[in-house]
Amino acid sequence: MNERYERGLAKLIEIDGEKGRQVVDSLRDIAPDFGRMIVEFPFGDIYSRPGLDLRTRELATVAALTALGNAAPQLKVHIYAAQNVGCTREEIVETIMQMAVYAGFPAALNGLFAAREVLGPTADSPA
Amino acid sequence: MNERYERGLAKLIEIDGEKGRQVVDSLRDIAPDFGRMIVEFPFGDIYSRPGLDLRTRELATVAALTALGNAAPQLKVHIYAAQNVGCTREEIVETIMQMAVYAGFPAALNGLFAAREVLGPTADSPA
Amino acid sequence: MNERYERGLAKLIEIDGEKGRQVVDSLRDIAPDFGRMIVEFPFGDIYSRPGLDLRTRELATVAALTALGNAAPQLKVHIYAAQNVGCTREEIVETIMQMAVYAGFPAALNGLFAAREVLGPTADSPA
Amino acid sequence: MNERYERGLAKLIEIDGEKGRQVVDSLRDIAPDFGRMIVEFPFGDIYSRPGLDLRTRELATVAALTALGNAAPQLKVHIYAAQNVGCTREEIVETIMQMAVYAGFPAALNGLFAAREVLGPTADSPA
Amino acid sequence: MNERYERGLAKLIEIDGEKGRQVVDSLRDIAPDFGRMIVEFPFGDIYSRPGLDLRTRELATVAALTALGNAAPQLKVHIYAAQNVGCTREEIVETIMQMAVYAGFPAALNGLFAAREVLGPTADSPA
Amino acid sequence: MNERYERGLAKLIEIDGEKGRQVVDSLRDIAPDFGRMIVEFPFGDIYSRPGLDLRTRELATVAALTALGNAAPQLKVHIYAAQNVGCTREEIVETIMQMAVYAGFPAALNGLFAAREVLGPTADSPA
């Protein structure tokens, strides 16, 4: 336990709640040090920095993971996190749609399907 | 409804039949505007252009999605579409195999497994 | 000229100023229709939508292009655009740094070098 | 020298002319065996197969390399090759434009700039 | 049957045991020639070369497939193969963890989950 | 200055010599904290770990950067580093060639050209 870890763990829980801790725990029987590093570097070093608010940080991550298109589980965690730190459903969906311009329609489509899985269908969608 | 949408929808149905409409419908409860955009831009603006026949357009798309390797559902839709607009099984398989040269053997392998799922095994394959 | 084009051109100029028009013009002697499409779809259809402010849209694009790492000229245009619509230098740099987590340190490094080219070195950097 | 090499070299020269041989020669002082393998596998094994004509093979490659976006020198060689085996300028440009749908506008833009470098500007472009 | 095929098949079985043969067989009813090519080029031409031992070859492949992040089935085959040619569990896990630096944390995470699936959880992991 | 930084800086200099310090310095006027993070995480946390020797670590990185194909400057730094920690020219070239199997021939070709730039042409290459 060190300062970076403590700061990172607090940030991870602020952002992801229990889901974040689950990712770390899931590494315990294959690469426990890597679980510690995820707390320390992304959350203790990067997400804890001033200069960019958490809502924008999460939308930037949703944008990047949608565009890369090869990390579906992590994209879902960050769609959840974006909502958790206060992004609206609309902001998340708009960010993903915009990726059609930069990474193509299939990447955006798969991002939108991930969003529906996490956020649920819209209340006013037709039966 | 506008001219681009109508032209796009006709082209989408010509290429993909009911499968195309399903993709559009599948967006209704998460991002309905994006469903409209898929009809308008890819199908109304791009696939409707002269200068390249539909068979070659579909093989180019099969090539690109095999090479990118991160959009399996869309690759399957376009393998189906390629056959639907008149590409032979052999042309589709050759296009995918060729991607081993440009994107590596795993990308080509995963493309071939997608093709078997869509096109079925060859009639004369050993039991 | 149509409504989407006019809306898109106004948005493109709002975001990119003269640099945006230059990208469109640069296509005139190879694919002029594509220059029109860039105005219509990304700017007329996507960036004109409500639901996400322009500052966040530009940071999402900077994030995605840094992560993809294969479109340096477009990344530079959007770093410029981000600043132009009101993002601070710090917000842009933080967004790019964060990509080390999602796309690796080389992608972030190359994004930071692009940022220095567009934004210039910091005033207080050592000689 | 073996049958695959001879078949591959003939095919390479049919497709790329002197440019193909230059690629092979360029490997002589770093990895000469790899120069031989390029002749044997892509050209001796893949491009020599029946079942897909050379024009479609080259457009599929132009599509894939535009979409991947990280192999500009090879994209240029294949834009040249596509024209050399009989593809029209329009077919090449349409194939590259279509990649905006599958890999995003920056990938297509960079592909079009490569095409202008290889094919030259259109005769009727404005001064 | 030719010399390259025989050399490749022996190498494939040395590296992958029965799993390698299964990959080749799995292509029989969609692209049997591609099954032959996998034996000939990767195994007959590349893995059979002197100058790099099989253990390092397999770790290089595990590194690349983890970083690319779009070929999960093949990554698992090569994690198995790495262990089969004598790499320790620790070497495999370290190689995958290192990819966080070059391709981001999600790519490394997904690689580690693949490793647990192939290698099993550590013996001393907490219940 | 902290323990991770000091351990990382010593490792960075062991691996890359002056070139490593130059990368860190090059960030001073755009994102100095990121220069510190490069020392701390990749070198202080990852490359300093036991369980995988430096030679294999560098070849794994050369493999990954060749396969990703979008970070040419960093690939060159690591080809230099690989040689610096004791990899032979042959091992480096074999690792890059092998990437043709996993990421395609263009990625391997561009990796080999980077290798020639860093390692120089072979002594016995024809004039």
Give per-residue pLDDT as tens, A14-72: 999 888 889 899 999 999 999 999 999 999 999 999 999 999 999 999 999 999 999 99
At residue E61, the pLDDT reads: 98
Do residue C70 and residue D107 have CB atoms under 8 angstroms apart?
Answer: yes
Q: Which of F9, F30, F49 is the last residue of a domain?
A: F49
Do residue C51 and residue A103 have CB atoms under 8 angstroms apart?
Answer: no
Do residue B28 and residue A126 have CB atoms under 8 angstroms apart?
Answer: yes
Residues B57-114: tens digit of each pLDDT: 999 999 999 999 999 999 999 999 999 999 999 999 999 999 999 999 999 999 999 9
Q: Which of A10, A31, A49 is the last residue of a domain?
A: A49
Do residue B115 and residue E28 have CB atoms under 8 angstroms apart?
Answer: no
At residue B125, the pLDDT reads: 55
Give me the domain span that covers residue F70: 53-119
> Is the same domain home to C84 and C58?
yes
> Is the same domain home to B45 and B70?
no
> Is the same domain home to D60 and D37?
no
Contact list in E for residue C101 (CB cut-off 8 A) is 104-105
**Whole-number mean pLDDT of chain C?**
94
Residue F18 has pLDDT above 50, yes or no: yes
**3-class SS at B69?**
coil
Q: Which of C16, C29, C40, C45 should we substitute to test contact with D (largest number of D Cβ atoms within 10 Å)?
A: C29
Domain assignment of residue E40, yes or no? yes
Closest to A15 in 3D by CA, of A95, A87, A84: A84
Provide the ipTM. Answer: 0.95
Residue of C nearest to D93 (CA): C31
pTM for this one?
A: 0.96
Do residue A69 and residue B70 have CB atoms under 8 angstroms apart?
Answer: yes
Residue of E nearest to A34 (CA): E97
> Is the same domain home to D14 and D40?
yes
Structure tokens at D112: 């079009």
Residues E65-123: tens digit of each pLDDT: 999 999 999 999 999 999 999 999 999 999 999 999 999 999 999 999 999 999 999 86
> Is the same domain home to D64 and D99?
yes
Give CA–CA dist E38/E27, Å, rounded. 10
Domain assignment of residue C124, yes or no? no
The number of distinct structural domains making up chain D is 2
CA torsion through residues E10, D48, B59, B18, sign: negative
> Is the same domain home to A91 and A79?
yes
Which residues are CB-contacts of C50 (< 8 A; sequence separation ≥ 6)? none
Domain assignment of residue F124, yes or no? no
> Is the same domain home to B99 and B61?
yes
Domain assignment of residue F6, yes or no? yes
Do residue C125 and residue F33 have CB atoms under 8 angstroms apart?
Answer: no
Structure tokens at A51: 């200069």
Which whole-number Å values give the CA distances from A41 to A29, E30, E104, F41, in the listed order? 20, 45, 11, 7
At residue C103, the pLDDT reads: 98
**Residues E98, E100, E101, E103: what is their CA dihedral angle, to the nearest 10 degrees?**
120
Structure tokens at C16: 């990119």
Got the DSSP string for E112-125? HHHHHHHH-S-TT-
Domain assignment of residue B126, yes or no? no
Least confident of A20-29, C42-51, D32-41: A20-29
CATH of the domain at F86: 1.20.1290.10
**Phi–psi pair at B63, nearest 5 degrees:** -60, -50
Residues 54-73 of C with CB under 8 A from A: 56-57, 59-68, 71
> Is the same domain home to A63 and A113?
yes
Domain assignment of residue D59, yes or no? yes
Q: Which of F49, F66, F84 is the last residue of a domain?
A: F49
Q: How far is CA B74 from the centre of its chain?
A: 6
Which residues are CB-contacts of F127 (< 8 A; sequence separation ≥ 6)? none
Smallest CA–CA distance, residue B38 to chain C, in Å, is 11
For residues D59 and D82, the answer to whether their CB atoms sit within 8 Å is yes
CB pairs D-F closer than 8 Å: 60
Q: Is C46 on the interface with D (CB under 8 A)?
A: no
Q: How confident is the model at residue C60 (pLDDT cuts 50, 70, 90)?
A: very high
Residues E9-62: tens digit of each pLDDT: 999 999 998 888 898 999 999 999 999 999 999 999 999 999 999 999 999 999
> Is the same domain home to C9 and C58?
no
Tracing tokens 């933080």 back to the chain, one arrives at C94
Q: How confident is the model at residue F60 (pLDDT cuts 50, 70, 90)?
A: very high
Do residue B71 and residue A70 have CB atoms under 8 angstroms apart?
Answer: no
At residue B19, the pLDDT reads: 87
Domain assignment of residue B124, yes or no? no
Residues D63-87: tens digit of each pLDDT: 999 999 999 999 999 999 999 999 9
Domain assignment of residue B125, yes or no? no
> Is the same domain home to B39 and B69?
no
Contact list in C for residue D70 (CB cut-off 8 A) is 69-70
For residues E90 and B127, the answer to whether their CB atoms sit within 8 Å is no
Q: How far is CA F69 from the centre of its chain?
A: 13
Facing B41 at nearest CB: one of C33, C41, C49: C41
Residues 76-115 of A with CB under 8 A from C: 88, 90-91, 93-95, 97-103
H helix or E strand, kind and range, residue C100: helix C89-103
pLDDT exceeding 70 applies to what percent of chain D? 95
> Is the same domain home to A57 and A108?
yes
H helix or E strand, kind and range, residue C68: helix C54-68
> Is the same domain home to B78 and B64?
yes
Count CB-CB contacts under 10 A for residue A73. Answer: 13
First-to-last alpha carbon distance for chain B, in angstroms, is 51
Q: Which H, E and C letters describe chain D, residue by residue? A: CCHHHHHHHHHHHHHHCHHHHHHHHCCCCCCHHHHHHHHHHHHHHHCCCCCCCHHHHHHHHHHHHHHHCCCHHHHHHHHHHHHHCCCCHHHHHHHHHHHHHHHCHHHHHHHHHHHHHHHCCCCCCCC
